[in-house]
Amino acid sequence: MNSDIYDVVIAGAGPAGLTAGLYTSREGLKTLVLEKWTCGGLAASTEWIENWPGTPDGVKGRDLMKNFKLQAQKFGTQIVESSELIKAEPAGKNITVTANNGRYETRTLIIATGSVPKKLNIPGENEFYGRGVSYCATCDGPFYKGRDIAVIGCGDSGLQEGESLLHFVKSIAFVEFLPSMKAEKILQERVQKKPNTRFMLNHMVTSINGQETVRSIAVKDRQTGEEKKIDVTGVFIYIGFLPNSGFVNGLVELDKFGYIVADDDMRTSIPGIYAAGDVRSKKVRQITTACSEGTIAAMAARDYLKELG
């Protein structure tokens, strides 16, 4: 076990985790952030963010999150990347956090591990992952220059990433399971105006087909039952998310979907453990709300530590 005892360990280096780290470090608390991949979370893989306050012309997700990281480090936050959380457990008055690269002891824990994209769980999805199936427009969009593709899901993520993909691709077929789109109206209006888009609402994708790479998708009209084949060479999937809460399953209270239950002060069912951002059970999941919750969790952890003495 790492011989140091931290005041705060933060699991996750997305907007919530890095904001929490900024605030706890500025409070003079010894803070460690453990991140499974690299800093930034899903926000860093978003090509263009237009609803971050103070950026009227928008900002690239990776640039925004790079600044989050630098600012937290400026005030003393330690960050360890490629550190996958395995479990957390009370250890007397402290909490032991076990990761793939070691064990850490802390007086408080802020869980900000976010969520991961849901899968369609249909034939061809796993087989063609990386060969036509993607969950990240920023990562893979340039590979589809001049090609016809499909975007599955017409929520905010689907339309935002689809709009980014339109800079590269020839056309996009948007497929939405529901009879209407859930994305912000301004996004709907903007993307629908594009001449190289078409929308198939109330349709479900039944398979992703190809040989070495994707060549088409099969969709089914949920009202009429009619089945169609759409020729595409790329499929970008945005149908929702699953919480990264497995390492605390059985420790803190989770809702029926696996999100962590936390009160208005971000306190979980275990004293000294807090949850913030997309891993928390709530209605709205945005970068702004994640930052707010990271701030609240940091202040709650500070007050808790003062009470402990």
| Whether 140 is catalytic | yes
Superfamily (CATH H level) for 5-116+241-308: FAD/NAD(P)-binding domain (3.50.50.60)
**C-alpha–C-alpha distance, residues 235 and 89, integer Å:** 40
Given the residues 7, 57, 63, 136, the one annotated as active site? 136
CB atoms within 10 A of CB 195: 6
Given the residues 4, 139, 231, 263, the one annotated as active site? 139
Q: Which helix (DSSP H) or strand (DSSP E) does residue 17 occupy?
A: helix 15-26
Given the residues 7, 39, 140, 291, the one annotated as active site? 140
Please report where in the chains the tokens 């070495």 appear, as a residue.
212
May I ask the CATH architecture of the domain 119-237? Answer: 3-Layer(bba) Sandwich (3.50)
- pLDDT tens, residue by residue, 43-63: 998 888 989 999 999 999 999
Q: What is the mean pLDDT of residues 286-291?
A: 96
The token pair that represents 70 in the structure block: 């630098």
% of the chain with per-residue pLDDT over 70: 99
Whether the full predicted model's pTM is greater than 0.75, yes or no, is: yes
For CATH 3.50.50.60, the residue range(s) in the chain are: 5-116+241-308, 119-237
106, 85 Cβ separation under 8 angstroms: no
Residue 3 has pLDDT above 90, yes or no: no
The token pair that represents 141 in the structure block: 């969009």
% of the chain with per-residue pLDDT over 90: 94
The token pair that represents 64 in the structure block: 């925004």
pLDDT for residue 4 = 86
Q: Which amino acid is at 107?
A: R
**C-alpha–C-alpha distance, residues 146 and 166, integer Å:** 10
Distances (CA, A) of 252 to 12, 87, 91, 261, 289: 17, 11, 15, 8, 22
Q: How far does the chain reach from its first CA to its final CA, in angstroms?
A: 24
- C-alpha gyration radius of the chain: 21
The DSSP 8-state label assigned to residue 278 in this structure reads G
- pLDDT tens, residue by residue, 239-268: 999 999 999 999 999 999 999 999 999 999
| Whether 136 is catalytic | yes
**C-alpha–C-alpha distance, residues 242 and 279, integer Å:** 8
